[in-house]
Structure 1
Amino acid sequence: MSALLDVILPVFLLIGAGYLAVWRGLFTDTGVDGLMAYTQRFAIPCLLFRGIVEIDLGEEFTWPLLLTFYTGALSGFALGVAGARFFGRPWEEAIAIGFCGLFSNSTLLGLPITERAFGSDILRYNYAIIAIHPPLCYLIGVTAMEIVRSHGEPLAGLPRKVTRAMFHNALVIGIALGFVVNLSGIDLPEVADDALDLIIRSALPAALFGLGGILFRYKIEGDAKIIALICTASLVVHPSVAWLLGALLNLSVDQLRAAVLTAAMAPGVNTYIFANIYGRAQRSAASGVLVGTAFSILSVWLWLLILP
């Protein structure tokens, strides 16, 4: 019970505060959009930039850790696609639903919950996972969607579409710049580093409050079976596969904690953005984000009890 009270509830209370503020008219939709634009385009990219700059790429960026997390993510994607097809959804909708099982909320939820549960030192493994999370997930999602949309026609424009989807994302740009600084050994001027630190301190609290406001816009609509499928893929299959594979690959305790707890997060808001880009399964994706975020309170609590 202490894990629920000390680790999880403060994070979700901040999300709830944002939800309540928008619901009661204390914070406008325009304010939410501005806050999320600040966090998604500036503050969180700075946070990820700092994280990538400071990690030891040789020690933390290891294939067993990444294989553990992303095998679970691909399992969630496969279940989402197969389940949606089983329930009679067209291929394009099935890919959008599968993307909900692929793209977990590794940053807005994963970072603060992992830090509160296990301390800031473990976050170096979270940053290693997140470093390839947006580009790899968009690579998989866009490629799969363009293949099913092509109906057998040549895919000459696919590389351009995939590259555009990945590198028009501020998170990817922040991560890429972090790799440049890390690998080049450049030292940031102290004044720039201090300014960066000020931005980073605001990133997660502001993003969590804004996430609550965003969730208020979503309504639980659509097929209950599809919503249950999304929650199962993201909250059960993804972390379960990561936990089993991590044990088989003998990950360290901290690596296993980072991989499984990040995998246990609800679908990220990017899943709705992806569905909206293609105009497919938007209601299912939005409902999956909302219901998955609510149920992740319990699922994360259970994984905190299971993890060493």
Structure 2
Amino acid sequence: MQALLEVILPVFLVIGFGYVAVWRGLFPASGVDALMKFAQNFAIPCLLLSAIANLDLSVSLNPRLLISFYVGAAVGFLVGLLGARYLFKRDWEDCVAIAFCCLFSNSVLLGLAINERAYGADALQGAFSIIAFHSPFCYGVGIIAMEIARNREQSPWLMARGVARAMFRNVLVLAILAGFVVNLTGIALPGVIRDGLDLVIRAALPTALFALGGVLIQYKPEGDARVIAMICAVSLLVHPAVTWALGTALSVPSGIFKTGVLTAAMAPGINGYIFANMYGRARRVAASSVLVATGASVVTAWMWLVVLG
């Protein structure tokens, strides 16, 4: 439990720093939006490009692990989408943003740290194989679903064209594709470019977390408690439960099986809010869900550690 707190508390401290800074007038609320745009349009894309470009895709790419994790993620997305629509009567665009929070686990900031502390550095190969496809899969599903929701009154041809246009104009998708191009072709980036990317990457997660804290001042979770509770339940319980059941049925090797389930049990990442902010939908729900689910994961991650032995 202490190790889990040592991982999660620093995240809360950075979020809390942003909250207090805006609350006490030490940082302008208008500056929070600028910080989030920097993280969303520049720093996070650099992080995605560099991470995918440098991953060894040939190491521990176990298809059974990937199937169990990503089927679980897809189930979480569908449960969140249909729950938001039919239980809480949200419009379809809000439903997609809410479902994205159920889909996108914090596989890096929390997942890597908790897996390493729980099972050692050797267990991280399974986590890295999940991370290699995490952003492409989640953003692909989220953007396609959102563009279908936004263009649902159009003809199938116009809808397909709108989805394709949105996909290939999105800086996050372009960064992911660029990372795979660099990885698969073996292109060696000049040292000066790598150093420049590293400087921007170091600012990505702290900036996004600080901005999220400032965002919470603007978006109070009033009236959204039940939606937030659903997101927490799907992210922290449903996704890992499906991953556990499929991993057991598919006989995923024990080491990476535990890593897959524990990664699935992570709270929604900051990307949940970044996606909602990108489309201007359900931002209050997304911001609050990241915070509440991260806090709740102190208990649920410990529970899954007990289940996994």
- TM-score, normalising length: structure 1: 0.80
The separation in 2 between residues aligned to 1:203 and 1:147, in whole angstroms, is 29
CA gap of 1:6–1:247, structure 2 versus 1, over 3 A, is farther
What letter is aligned with 1:40? Q
Deviation at 1:160, TM superposition (A): 2.8
CA gap of 1:143–1:53, structure 2 versus 1, over 3 A, is closer
Aligned to 2:3: 3
Aligned to 2:56: 56
Structure 2 residues without counterparts, runs of 5 or longer: none
The separation in 1 between residues aligned to 2:220 and 2:184, in whole angstroms, is 44
The separation in 2 between residues aligned to 1:94 and 1:52, in whole angstroms, is 29
Contact 1:222–1:284, Cα closer than 8 Å, also in 2:
no
Q: Which moved more, 1:134-143 or 1:58-67?
A: 134-143
Aligned to 2:217: 216
Q: Which moved more, 1:68-77 or 1:274-283?
A: 274-283
Output aligned runs, 1:61-72, within 5 Å: 61-72=61-72
Number of aligned positions between the proteins? 308
Aligned to 1:185: 186
Aligned to 2:177: 176
What letter is aligned with 1:190? G
The separation in 1 between residues aligned to 2:37 and 2:282, in whole angstroms, is 24
The separation in 1 between residues aligned to 2:66 and 2:55, in whole angstroms, is 15
Deviation at 1:219, TM superposition (A): 0.9
The separation in 1 between residues aligned to 2:274 and 2:197, in whole angstroms, is 28
Structure 1 SS opposite 2:157: coil
* Alignment pair present for 1:198 and 2:199: yes
Aligned to 2:134: 133
Structure 2 SS opposite 1:156: helix
What letter is aligned with 2:55? I
- The one-character-per-residue Cα deviations of 1:188-240 (angstroms, maximum 9, x if unpaired) are 23343333333333333333333323333321122433222221111211122
The separation in 2 between residues aligned to 1:72 and 1:302, in whole angstroms, is 18
Output aligned runs, 1:133-152, within 5 Å: 133-144=134-145
Q: Which moved more, 1:232-241 or 1:172-181?
A: 172-181
CA gap of 1:171–1:91, structure 2 versus 1, over 3 A, is closer
Aligned to 2:19: 19
Identity of aligned residues (%): 56
Backbone CA RMSD of aligned residues:
3.4
Deviation at 1:286, TM superposition (A): 4.4
Aligned to 1:47: 47
What letter is aligned with 1:210? A
The separation in 1 between residues aligned to 2:233 and 2:211, in whole angstroms, is 26
Structure 2 SS opposite 1:157: helix
